[in-house]
Amino acid sequence: MTATNLPPLMESPPGPKTVIDGKTYLYFGGTSYLGLAGNAEVIEAACDAARRFGMHSATSRTGFGHNAATVAVERLAAEFFGKEKAFYYVSGYVGNHILIQAVAERFDVILMEEMAHFCLQEASALPGKPIVRFAHRDAEDFARKVRECAAAGKRPLALTDGIFPATGEIAPLDRYVRALADCGAATLLIDDAHGFGAVGENGRGSLEHFGLWDGKNSPPVNGDVLPDGLAIYVSGTLSKALGGFGGILAGSADLIERAHTTSHYYNGASAPASPVAGGTAKALEIVLRDPGLRKRLQNNVALLRGKLRELGLAIDDSPASIVGVTVGDAENMRRIHRELKAADIIVPYSTYSGAGKEGTLRIAVFANHTLEMLERLVNEFRRIL
Ligand SMILES: Cc1ncc(COP(=O)(O)O)c(C=O)c1O
């Protein structure tokens, strides 16, 4: 890599104002949706955990990787998601690797969303079962493939992102659940990395948005692994909306026990490092005591989507904190990215998972973006488009 194409060098915590390559930008990149990555209390808690427990987590959880900071993350995450227990591991990326092994006895064939995140694609290879792809967010294609499974006497496991990370599109989970409900034993497994903390009345993510978080007509989320009926599982991360770090699974004691024992992330991998566990526990404490933070984020998201629509842009009504703006071809979007940057605004042009062939301009909305900041972004878009 030459000096001219090095990735941007971050020189401050990510936030509405972020220092990159020596310059301060109005920043709409990355994932710190609740604005906590640079929060003073979170940083102090991380420093405190470093002083108490050191940099490292010592070993795996069954060795000496179990300390007050890690235990606090699991207790607070279980409370946040309204579940019996939680399992905190080193990265959201591996959440589906863990879950797919925990529920392996429930399915014969995998239905894979064609634009699912890399981590789901990789996890799908682990059970060694046949994989059938369904078209991106296409509930009819999904239902057709579910019927084909049922006709062949095969129990399906459907894999999808809740929120697609480049575009902010939400998967039609309500329609997927309806299609799976008639099918006997069926499993829906969601990666909700970008929904956790940000989407839904209580921040429980995409399922909550559709009224499927332990809803009246749906099975409990992340419940016991039973042989029959429809089951819904979801994993996520504390590294995005929460501004902390590490993957999280919150569910019934039975599910968490299985997650500890059917893969080796509990007994064969280091626990998340103590300082990040300390900072992450504090971030969870903050969102539990201040639901207003999530409200501010959700208001900002609705406001920005509305204002961009007024410019004539095709913006959907997803509740995600990511607003994908796809306008013209890749070259045009690169131009808009460059012109925004010249006006001291960062909106990445993204070709990340789910971005499609042309890519997209990916706006990340934060709880601590002010009205003035959002209006400035919209005004610059109006000028540049
Ligand atoms: C959809 C999705 N799932 C999982 C991950 C991985 O989560 P983590 O960064 O916590 O490992 C990411 C991005 O990093 C993502 O975009």
Write down the pTM of the prediction. 0.97
When computed from its CA atoms, the radius of gyration of the chain, rounded to whole angstroms, is 21
Mean pLDDT of 366-383: 98
d(CA 331, CA 291): 40
Distances (CA, A) of 103 to 154, 173, 188, 221: 15, 19, 10, 13
Q: How far is the CA of 110 from the centre of ligand 1 (A)?
A: 21
Q: What pLDDT does 4 receive?
A: 63
Q: How many domains does the chain have?
A: 3
* Residue 112 is assigned to a structural domain of this protein: yes
Q: What pLDDT does 5 receive?
A: 77
Mean pLDDT of 126-150: 97
Q: How far is the CA of 167 from the centre of ligand 1 (A)?
A: 14
d(CA 168, CA 170): 6
Q: What pLDDT does 169 receive?
A: 98
Q: Which of 263, 290, 317 corresponds to the end of one domain?
A: 290
**326 pLDDT more than 90:** yes
Q: What pLDDT does 49 receive?
A: 97
In a shared domain, residues 153 and 111 = yes
In a shared domain, residues 185 and 319 = no
In a shared domain, residues 104 and 209 = yes
Q: What pLDDT does 354 receive?
A: 85
Which domain, by its residues, includes 172? Answer: 92-238
Q: How far is the CA of 237 from the centre of ligand 1 (A)?
A: 7
Q: Which of 290, 322, 352 corresponds to the end of one domain?
A: 290
Q: What pLDDT does 183 receive?
A: 84
CB 246 within 8 A of CB 46: no
Nearest CA to ligand 1 atom 2: 193
Chain mean pLDDT for the chain: 96
Nearest CA to ligand 1 atom 7: 92
